[in-house]
Amino acid sequence: MRRLLPTALVAVALALGACDSADVPQPPGAAKVDVDTPALRAIKEQAGIEPCRRTSAGPTDDGMPEVTLPCLGGGGDVDVAGLRGPMVVNLWASWCGPCRKELPIYQQFHDRYGDRVAVLGIDYNDVQPEAALELARDTGVTYPLLADPGSDLEGTSTFPTIRGVPWVVLIDADGVVVHRQAVEVTSLAQLVDLVDEHLGTDL
């Protein structure tokens, strides 16, 4: 069952704890953020973060947008329209307080269920890739991480508006986004329940 959190509930969720990207200083429009430097590669290697996996499938109806994102800390670019699940995608940022709390939960999920449900992080609207990788390292994150410093996901049919992070996105085996929600995950049980409900698993 496909379900998009109603606009009113999104607003409430953001007001209660998610970080609003509008509060983050934005760089000039022409500025480019390099997410692949020797220093970033070193942090990524030290953290043991897994390489990003290129996609080969094409876009699908109600799937992720046709946006290509770089791998945070080096590696090949990924066309997110080709992502296939079952998969959990977490939108986060280094400037987001709730994200700092929930990243270890996504890692717990990856450690316990990653062989059945893949986990992918997207560092969203974040112009501080070094801070993002340091946060990933400090919270024990090892699953693959993409970067969207220019907010390329926003304004697509999948993400008409992203008013802040964190978000959780669930993708089924056909590439369909079956659930997307602006919410802070506060426990492993909460995340497992979301995955079981929307991806039809029994974790």
Q: Is position 7 within any domain?
A: yes
End-to-end CA distance of the chain: 18
Q: Is position 26 within any domain?
A: no
Distance CA 36, CA 131 (A): 13
Encode pLDDT of 21-73 as tens digits.
Answer: 444 444 444 358 999 999 999 999 999 999 999 999 999 999 999 999 999 99
Q: Is position 112 within any domain?
A: yes
Q: Is position 56 within any domain?
A: yes
Encode pLDDT of 137-195 as tens digits.
Answer: 999 999 999 999 999 999 999 999 998 999 999 999 999 999 999 999 999 999 999 99
CATH number for 179: 3.40.30.10
Structural domain for 137, as ranges: 3-20+50-199
Domain count, the chain: 1
Distance CA 90, CA 44 (A): 18
Between 17 and 104, the more confident residue is 104
Distance CA 121, CA 91 (A): 6
Encode pLDDT of 76-100 as tens digits.
Answer: 999 999 999 999 999 999 999 999 9
Which amino acid would we find at residue 134?
Answer: E
pLDDT of residue 5: 40
Q: Is position 32 within any domain?
A: no
Q: Is position 133 within any domain?
A: yes
Residues 6+ apart with CB under 8 A from 69: 77, 78, 80, 122, 146, 147, 148, 152
Q: ∠ at Cα 180 (177, 182), nearest 5°? A: 165
Q: Residue 176: what are its φ and ψ, rounded to 5°?
A: -80, 135
Candidates 175, 167, 183; CA nearest to 125 is: 167
Q: Is position 100 within any domain?
A: yes
Q: Is position 34 within any domain?
A: no
